[in-house]
Amino acid sequence: MTGPIDSVAIVGGGFSGAMLAARLAERGAPSILINRTADFGLGVAYSTPFDGHLLNVRSARMSALAEDPGHFVRWLQDHHPSLADPDGFAPRRLFGLYVQSRLAEVEARHPGRIQRRIAEVAAIVPEGVRLDDGAVIAADAVVLTTGNPAPRTAGPAGSSNAVVPDPWAPGALGRIAADDDILLIGTGLTMVDVLLSLNAGGWRGRATALSRRGLLPRGHRLKPDSPTSPTEALLSGRLSTRLSEARRLSDLGGWREVMEGLRPITARLWGEADLATRSRVVRHLRPWWDVHRHRVAPAVAAVIEGLCAEGRLDVVAGRVRTVTSDEGAVRLDWTPRHGPARPALGARWLIDCSGPGHAPDADPLTAPLIASGRARLDPLGLGLELDPGGRVLNAAGDPDSRLFVLGPPARAAFWETIAVPDIRKRIEDVVTALTAQA
């Protein structure tokens, strides 16, 4: 594809894709928004029907518009006034409705600039995208906004009727009876969501959750935390020295305040880090970063703490060795992180809550791009390499002005690409890059 960009194909219609389409329309650029289902704007995170699944970010920070921080709170005031607390954590279901509302409003103001297409994209091709029925949608540029993939840790055992390989699949948790005991691989946000759903539905069983370090997401305080300004020692030098400084500052003013101070500059710090530093972060620091950075609402933390106190949730640290199952039970052999060998874990069900199974070199859309040299995998295997504007780098390291990545799949380049405030910034960068070429 050469010449100016007159049309954009957006692959994935969740928050990232829908809000990119809206922003492009407001800048006068047409797009085709392609989604597997008719639920444009929701994605996995905001398609939950359960109001106990709360946002992990306060409502005051969840505006879809960077220049209008109060946009989401005003929407709540208009449609759900009892939940319009700027410091509160609204149900994710309502945020999904908000995203859909904004998309519809932009479509009404700019008719014809956004085309919705319900389809499965099979491949990225020079002409644009090819659908699974063989049809080709022509586009001058393609933006991959495919969100988070399903977990992969359960592996071949996922075909068993006693294993739930993707807790977000429709009806995935419906087979679990009220008194069934369960095993969970992973102790992060997905595990939290699963336990919230089951507990609210009357489940009374026991759960054992296993992860490499046995860490649970931390909770927010009821009120926002004032950021601690990062010191020079926190921003530069050896990673071990910076970590010591973070601990010192946490002892002085609180770790939440330190994380708040780092939040606006995390992507820049990641971009400035050399490969060795990034590797150490991924291998050693990421689990600790995740549970402190991606916190849960106070009410959610209280439920998880309650399950632990009741003896219904046991969290263990170790590695999965093998998973075997039959129709009535599942067995997990594991190696403890510390101490002697422990007996295998057993339950009626095993649920893979290990988080997004990003594997760009095995993904049907990105693997062919890597194989052909149109894209390249970053050295740590986190995702495709991108330039600061979100353009995909080819095998030679040159940016492709017709191919972009936005949202969670862009984590190799920006690290923080999950929360709405971070994605919102990336949307503006991609829109600027696309419209500058139009």
- Mapping DSSP onto H, E and C, the string for 90-122 reads CEHHHHHHHHHHHHHHHHHHCCCCEEEEECCEE
Task: Specify the pLDDT at position 4.
Answer: 66
Task: Specify the pLDDT at position 1.
Answer: 43
Split at pLDDT 50, 70, 90, the class of 355 is confident
Q: Is the pLDDT of residue 150 over 90?
A: no
Among candidates 373, 436, 384, 378, which has minimal Cα distance to 407?
A: 384
Residue that the structure tokens 């070429």 belong to? 437
Q: How many other CB atoms are found less than 10 A from the CB of residue 304?
A: 22
Q: Is the pLDDT of residue 152 over 90?
A: no
What domains does the chain contain, in order, with CATH numbers? 8-149+357-437 (3.50.50.60), 155-218+296-352 (3.50.50.60), 232-293 (no CATH)
Task: Label residue 115 exposed, middle or buried (CB < 10 Å: 0-12, 13-18, 19+).
Answer: middle
Task: Specify the pLDDT at position 288.
Answer: 94
pLDDT tens digit sequence for 65-88 = 999 999 999 999 999 999 999 999
Structure tokens of 420?
């709405």
pLDDT tens digit sequence for 18-33 = 999 999 999 999 999 9
Task: Specify the pLDDT at position 438.
Answer: 56
List the Cα angle 358/361/366 in 5-degree steps: 85
Q: Is the pLDDT of residue 415 over 60?
A: yes
Split at pLDDT 50, 70, 90, the class of 356 is confident
Q: Is the pLDDT of residue 367 over 80?
A: yes
pTM: 0.94
Residue 91: CA count within 13 A, CB half-sphere: 13
Q: How many other CB atoms are found less than 10 A from the CB of residue 273?
A: 15
Q: Is the pLDDT of residue 35 over 70?
A: yes
Q: Is the pLDDT of residue 234 over 80?
A: yes
The whole-angstrom separation of Cα 314 and Cα 330 is 17
List beta partners, residue 432.
Answer: none
pLDDT, mean of residues 146-171: 81
The whole-angstrom separation of Cα 256 and Cα 309 is 24
pLDDT tens digit sequence for 398-411 = 999 999 999 989 99
Q: Is the pLDDT of residue 437 over 70?
A: no
Across the beta sheet with 136-138, the strand order is 121-125, 128-131, 136-138
Mean pLDDT score across all residues of the chain: 94
Q: Is the pLDDT of residue 156 over 80?
A: no
